[in-house]
Structure 1
């Protein structure tokens, strides 16, 4: 996939547009070929720029991958914020969040590939402080939902919001990221039927866990 070439007025350079084009191209290249197989020349070609610009803005391939990874997390956090869980009743908020989490990974294969790649590298490209900063709003939102659910008698009292988030992410992530091997092992369909059933069960499992 080639990113549309950046249009510039003569004698000007739109730094923001250039960075965005590089990040889009790098996201596609790293998702397709991994960090080791991803090539700076290929990223430059996808972005329609000279590869020297990549080193100018990011310094190295590893630094560029780290920036792509950060963007990967920022995108899902921004999408989660749009759910406005605080405006929903507790049960609706939990159901909405679980379904969103499943649908997001199903609709964004690059998200899965980039996370898998970073785990292969031991998480060394993540900035822990920045990662915690990005994740804190969703944990805070779930904490509020849990507190309201406990107050209304819907949820048990001993649920840690961070652990709940990890559980939801795990239940939603695994059947999507491993759909090919699951299909081969259990002779399951790759597409909608299998994923729809896993999506339904994910919601049921989480509500079963939260029930007093």
Structure 2
């Protein structure tokens, strides 16, 4: 019987397994309730690999945050490129937030845990988490809309970005408490669709230049 060939090492795959296990566990239990032993047990790797690739549990949590931020940043840029006019680009963005938060619940949970920690992992000098790359693209879209007379000229772009995120995020961050208190199942696709449609209406009624010609929302035009 020929001798067994050693399994070739794949550093990228090992690092990815550790990171994915950390994201799942941190999202479910938070930073303090998860041990490195639990992470390596789920990732099925040697414990020293965590320290080899990440250095510490804190650095691993920062990497988990960075990873989920990259995921949403990718869909943000992709979403606005699917639109033609500034109005349609921002409409696609709001739709993409609802879709992303549905399929990536770990993003919402990790951010909630980090906010309970008062953002201590986001205040590191070398952290990679920032909304600046997409904020500049968002600003350019809004400015295009202002230049064409489609949007109001007095918009605060940074606060508008916060409003975009908040109006979508609340459906997932407070899903269970709102479902109970309002007797409305926010996990239901039809309920979220109605919510998205109202978010679109509220946003565009608020940012549209009152003197601009009346136009149909992109979602309505597609029906």
Q: Which bracket does the TM-score occupy, shorter chain normalised? A: 0.7 to 0.9
Contact in 2 for aligned 1:86/1:145 (Cα 8 Å): no
Q: How far 1:131 moved relative to its partner?
A: 2.3
Contact in 2 for aligned 1:150/1:157 (Cα 8 Å): yes
For 1:93, the equivalent position in structure 2 comes to 89
Seen in structure 2, the aligned counterparts of structure 1 residues 74 and 87 have a Cα distance that, compared at 3 Å, is same
Q: Which portions of structure 1, spanning 4 or more consecutive aligned residues, are displaced by more than 6 angstroms?
A: none
Spell out, residue by residue over 1:147-192, the C-alpha distance to the aligned partner (whole angstroms, 9 max, x if none): 2211221100121322211110000001221111111111112322
For 1:170, the equivalent position in structure 2 comes to 166
Secondary structure of 1:91 counterpart: helix
Structure 2: state its 5+ residue gaps. Answer: 210-223
Spell out, residue by residue over 1:66-124, the C-alpha distance to the aligned partner (whole angstroms, 9 max, x if none): 11011111111122122243862111111111111122112211111000010011101
State whether structure 2 residue 135 is matched by structure 1 residue 139: yes
What is the rounded CA distance, in whole Å, between the counterparts of 1:203 and 1:87 in structure 2?
A: 15
Answer with 1 or 2: which has the greater Rg: 2
For 1:205, the equivalent position in structure 2 comes to 202
Contact in 1 for aligned 2:80/2:90 (Cα 8 Å): no
CA RMSD of aligned residues (A): 1.8
Q: How far 1:130 moved relative to its partner?
A: 2.7
State whether structure 2 residue 109 is matched by structure 1 residue 102: no
State whether structure 2 residue 108 is matched by structure 1 residue 117: no
TM-score between the two structures when normalised by the length of structure 1: 0.88
What is the rounded CA distance, in whole Å, between the counterparts of 1:161 and 1:130 in structure 2?
A: 22
Which structure 2 residues correspond to residues 13-92 of structure 1 after superposition, within 5 A?
A: 13-85=9-81, 88-92=84-88
Structure 1: state its 5+ residue gaps. Answer: 1-8
What is the rounded CA distance, in whole Å, between the counterparts of 2:82 and 2:26 in structure 1?
A: 35
TM-score between the two structures when normalised by the length of structure 2: 0.84
Q: How far 1:11 moved relative to its partner?
A: 7.1
